[in-house]
């Protein structure tokens, strides 16, 4: 996480960077977008367990609504 030192304060997104402030601080922080892509989450073998848990949770939510 980077701290932005500039004469202006910006918050929001610019391309793959996010600028934000944290509670209790007057600094602006910058971070780069990260994480797996949508296709990798849907088809990647390393996310097989995650997909299984998501489908089980979806069934629990539907069951609670009945």
Give the model confidence (pLDDT) of 17-40 as tens digits: 888 888 888 888 888 878 888 999
Q: Could you tell me the pTM of the whole model?
A: 0.47
Looking at the predicted structure, is the pLDDT value of residue 7 above 70?
yes
| Per-residue tokens: 59 | 């069934």
CA–CA gap between residue 32 and residue 34 (Å, rounded): 6
pLDDT of residue 59: 85
What is the domain partition of the chain in residue ranges?
Answer: 1-34, 35-66
Q: In whole numbers, what is the pLDDT of the chain averaged over residues?
A: 83
* DSSP 8-state code for residue 29: E
Report residue 66's pLDDT band, with 50, 70 and 90 as the boundaries. low
Q: What string of DSSP letters covers 3-63?
A: EE-SSS---EEETTEEEEE-TT---EEEEE--S--HHHHHH-GGGHHHHHHHHHHHHHHHH
């Amino acid at each position: 996480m980077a701290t932005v030192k500039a004469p202006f304060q910006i918050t929001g997104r610019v391309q793959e960077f996010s600028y934000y402030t944290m509670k209790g601080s007057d600094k602006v922080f910058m971070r780069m977008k990260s994480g797996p892509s949508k296709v990798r989450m849907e088809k990647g073998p390393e996310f097989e367990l995650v997909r299984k848990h998501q489908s089980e949770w979806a069934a629990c939510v539907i069951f609670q609504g009945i």
